[in-house]
Structure 1
């Protein structure tokens, strides 16, 4: 998938800052991801951070076997402390070059380490956009993470065995649109989505 070992730390810190700025009254607000309120999106990011941390460590089990689409996770008390810790641990785990080699598992699927890393990066980039849009915050993802996310989503959309985008039908976006808009469109989201006033 990639020969580049990317530091997930910069993108993880962006997500942590976005989460820190979420007000309690925003937790029920809708996100661009259908059926997911802000609280569900934050719960998903917390769970995926733990799952992909363990995937990087090749510590396979309950956290790496769960179906990520089974239910919209909710937040437990203490999430404001747990989420940044999980994001730090995720980034740290992927700094080990061994995480990018061999096979691992996430979401119940076996995959090469480098593919799992690309999935983790993509999740952080796209869900960062989801959270920012849902809460009316500005969002500039880490440029290297954005490039990896876009390339991962583009390859998935071009793969005929997948039948299009991996998170939903691709939303057409102009070829000269900003890279973030193109990645968002490839993820099945409309880059023009905004929270209702």
Structure 2
């Protein structure tokens, strides 16, 4: 039985959230400190390319860690670009070769299987971030929540290990739903709202 996650559901959910975002939402705050909706969309557009190239074992167009997210880097045609990149990302990670060997994303050397789960985690968490920021509905697939929670729990609870990946953990009851526990482990308050 294949235990590799399929990124298609998470990519589809991200596309659905992005489709509901209006131009007047771009300046709204998100659960990611100091990051507006526009900044976060620019980050998602960039990461969909970076993690597709990681799946294909191709070099990134720019080496090293990604720049700080900025709406200034959001393509004018992001409504066309993002769904296309999400489709290509999910397709690239359906290739079993993507999950084998070594690759890199954001200047970090990773095993293919690690990179695939990080890509899934980015889609799941940032779709929720964008939905929470704009009041749009979001529901994570249970299998994606499970895979991302296992990944989040595997990251040591120290600032150095979490830097660039997660914020400080937010306490969430142990009997909370898996997705809420994922949010807490990743440094997000499940009850966050923009006001």
Q: How many residues align?
A: 192
> 2: distance between equivalents of 1:61 and 1:116?
14
Which runs of 5 or more structure 2 residues have no equivalent in the other structure?
Answer: none
Q: Does 2:80 align with 1:71?
A: no
> 1: distance between equivalents of 2:159 and 2:191?
27
Instruction: Determine the structure 2 residue equivalent to 1:92.
Output: 91
Q: Does 2:76 align with 1:80?
A: no
Residues 28, 163 of structure 1: CA spacing in aligned structure 2 closer, same or farther, 3 A cutoff?
closer
> 2: distance between equivalents of 1:73 and 1:56?
25
- Structure 1 residue 166 displacement after superposition: 4.2
Question: Conserved in 1, the CA contact under 8 Å of 2:145 and 2:179?
Answer: yes
Question: Conserved in 2, the CA contact under 8 Å of 1:165 and 1:186?
Answer: no
Question: Conserved in 1, the CA contact under 8 Å of 2:28 and 2:37?
Answer: yes
- Structure 1 residue 62 displacement after superposition: 2.1
Which runs of 5 or more structure 1 residues have no equivalent in the other structure?
Answer: none
Q: Does 2:11 align with 1:12?
A: yes
Question: Conserved in 1, the CA contact under 8 Å of 2:159 and 2:168?
Answer: no
Residues 82, 66 of structure 1: CA spacing in aligned structure 2 closer, same or farther, 3 A cutoff?
farther
Instruction: Determine the structure 2 residue equivalent to 1:41.
Output: 40
Q: CA-atom RMSD, angstroms?
A: 1.9
Matches within 5 A, 1:83-162: 83-157=82-156, 162=161
TM-score, length-normalised on structure 1?
Answer: 0.91
Over 6 Å off, 4+ runs: none
